[in-house]
A and B are shown apart, each in its own frame.
Chain A
Amino acid sequence: MADLIVVQPGPQVTIQDLGRVGWQRFGIAAAGALDPPSLRAANLLAGNPPGTAAVEFTLAGGEYEAEGATLRLAVAGGDFQVTVDGEPVPPWTGFDLEPGRRLRIGAAPDALRGYLAAGGGFALPPRLGSLSTHVRSGLGGLDGGVLRPGDRLPLAAGAAPAGPPMTLDPQALPPRREILRVVLGPQDDHFTAAGIETFLTGAYAVTADADRMGYRLNGPEIEHAGGFNIISDGIAAGSIQVPGTRQPIVLLADRQPTGGYPKIATVITPDLPSLAQARPGNTVRFQAVDPAEAVAVRRNWEAMLGRMGEWLAPAGAGRELDSERLLGINLVGGVVDGLA
């Protein structure tokens, strides 16, 4: 048996896969990775199917060790500072962690959420068909909660590393966007024309109240046409509620299954990871697309994700650009923006 030992997790570290499908009608939150393309990238690098459950972290991943066997691991989501016993590991590259060595995952200049995938995946019991953790309802992951120091994550049997470590050009992932595309509705008729205009032209800052459940934004006030209470209905991922504060709240993976504020619009699936990677203080804007265009964008996005594996290459194959980039990131820290 092999385990990944959580020595010191970062803040709010949880196990996530692609979420629970089919249970929202019973009051079960979907949960799941906030940045599915990055989850997919980490899994490809660890040699897993793309939706395998991984460790999702925010800001920094923390410290981990392997026990019982050497583990094939990968970190994705951004240019996170990854070291094994102090030795830098290139970003977007798989690596092996031998027992007794210490993995540290620091912050990234370009990302808020990261994923640590382990080859073979975690041998944890699915709850309602998923390993995704939903902390509020105590479901999934390791006993339904965030990871704590000393937690052991058992690896599925036969998880020995296969082949040389691989690296992934991050261009394989859809680019991040500051302008989030939305489909107006389902309750855009609860807002005045001026309110919708404000929403579509204003810059909205991510506030400190931004977590897996939703992002509260702050910007120009959005005018309701009437009251702001509606009869509770089902909430899709990316729904933008506007309560009496007149400020938008974008609801994400851990959102409540049903809710009662008017939803002016819904961020389309391909643009949700960009929001989930935005930090407090970053600003976003909204651009309306019609439903047919939203579907077309989604199909292109899925096709791009499907081709991600074509960008995998053996690590250390003399890609000079990558090694320069790596040097900049791990040794120079502050100047990475120019290289990225």
Chain B
Amino acid sequence: MAGIESGAAGDQPRFLPAGDAALIVEFGAAIDADINGRVLALDAALADAALPGVVETVPTYRSLLVQFDPAVLTHAELAEALAALGPAPDGGKAAARRWTVPVAYGGKHGIDLEDVARHHGISAEEVVRIHLSGDYRVYMIGFAPGFAYLGGLPEALHTPRRHDPRMRVPAGTISIGGMQAAVCSTPIPSGWHLLGRTPVRGFDLRRPDPFLFRPGDRIRFVRIDAEEFERLDALAESGGYLPEPDGPAGGGED
């Protein structure tokens, strides 16, 4: 994927004001692992620098929203400080981890599996096989608590969004929309296609760290059957099931 926006990715980022108390640092105009990597590297460097007056940051696909306290900083001062920061020594990758996420496909857990298969003229089993073959990257968390936007959906499954969004899909939904895939952690409205459901709780306030996934993490899916889903889901509900990361995300090409 690198190269879609390679010219812009080599350029200096753009600093864009977002009101009196926020600045957006934009690295490009594409969903691209290199651009996203630069966002995460700046985010990590800024966290390390602990710049006074920075209130919170929101890393997204191609930009970093930096919310600041105007009593302490101006836009110009913040932009200058950000420009002076090099990327974090490890490029922000140290915190990224690799996860294996179990999914029950089809049936009541993946009500759009057959439709997606029909759309592509392949079997439901083939859709599952292709989805399982993907090596996914968490680009950002957004939209709803713990909702993980994934890149790395194999092109054979790129599918236009539904014409008619659903008002509510359950927590744990594994879905695809356009060239993107997602792990959803709370019930949300959605226009994406539901392929399956995971018992993994991506967001659970009972945990000291309520959020499982971070931008930069890598995810592979593994198939479980409906009975195993019920077993793990009951365990997860009682707080007795949470996957451990397999290890650091590692290099991996996107």
Closest chain A CB from B23 CB (angstroms): 8
* Alpha-carbon gap, A1 to B240, bound state (A): 35
Residues of A within 8 A of B (CB): 21-28, 127-128, 136-139, 182-187, 230-239, 256-259, 263, 266-270, 291-292, 294-295, 297-299, 302
A-B contact count (CB 8 A): 143
Closest chain B CB from A275 CB (angstroms): 13
Residues of B within 8 A of A (CB): 16-22, 24, 26, 29-31, 55-65, 67, 70-71, 74-76, 140-147, 149, 185-186, 203, 205, 210-211
* Alpha-carbon gap, A257 to B211, bound state (A): 15
Specify which chain B residues have a CB less than 8 angstroms from the CB of A235 in the assembled complex: 65
The answer to whether A295 and B145 touch (CB under 8 A), given A186-B24, A236-B21, is: no
A sample of 12 cross-chain residue pairs with beta-carbon separation below 8 angstroms, ordered by A number, consists of A24-B58, A26-B146, A26-B203, A231-B60, A231-B61, A231-B62, A233-B60, A236-B21, A256-B144, A266-B19, A268-B20, A294-B19
- Nearest B residue (CB) for A231: B61
Specify which chain A residues have a CB less than 8 angstroms from the CB of B62 in the assembled complex: 231, 233
Specify which chain A residues have a CB less than 8 angstroms from the CB of B55 in the assembled complex: 21-22
A291 touches B76 (CB 8 A): yes
* Alpha-carbon gap, A232 to B61, bound state (A): 7
Specify which chain B residues have a CB less than 8 angstroms from the CB of A232 in the assembled complex: 60-61, 140, 142-143, 149
Closest chain B CB from A272 CB (angstroms): 9
* Alpha-carbon gap, A258 to B17, bound state (A): 16
Closest chain A CB from B153 CB (angstroms): 16
Main secondary structure of the interface of A (DSSP, over half): mixed
Closest chain B CB from A105 CB (angstroms): 32
- Nearest B residue (CB) for A181: B20
**Contact among B20, B30, B141 with A25 in the assembled complex (CB-CB below 8 Å):** B141
B63 touches A234 (CB 8 A): yes
A258 touches B18 (CB 8 A): no
Specify which chain B residues have a CB less than 8 angstroms from the CB of A184 in the assembled complex: 17
Closest chain A CB from B92 CB (angstroms): 13
**Contact among B64, B70, B71, B145 with A137 in the assembled complex (CB-CB below 8 Å):** B145
**Contact among A258, A266, A291, A294 with B60 in the assembled complex (CB-CB below 8 Å):** A258
Closest chain A CB from B163 CB (angstroms): 15
* Alpha-carbon gap, A237 to B144, bound state (A): 16
**Contact among B18, B29, B63, B210 with A239 in the assembled complex (CB-CB below 8 Å):** B18
9 nearest interchain CB pairs? A234-B65, A258-B142, A266-B19, A234-B58, A186-B16, A294-B20, A236-B22, A236-B18, A291-B75
A27 touches B144 (CB 8 A): yes
Closest chain A CB from B139 CB (angstroms): 10
B60 touches A234 (CB 8 A): yes
Specify which chain B residues have a CB less than 8 angstroms from the CB of A128 in the assembled complex: 205, 210
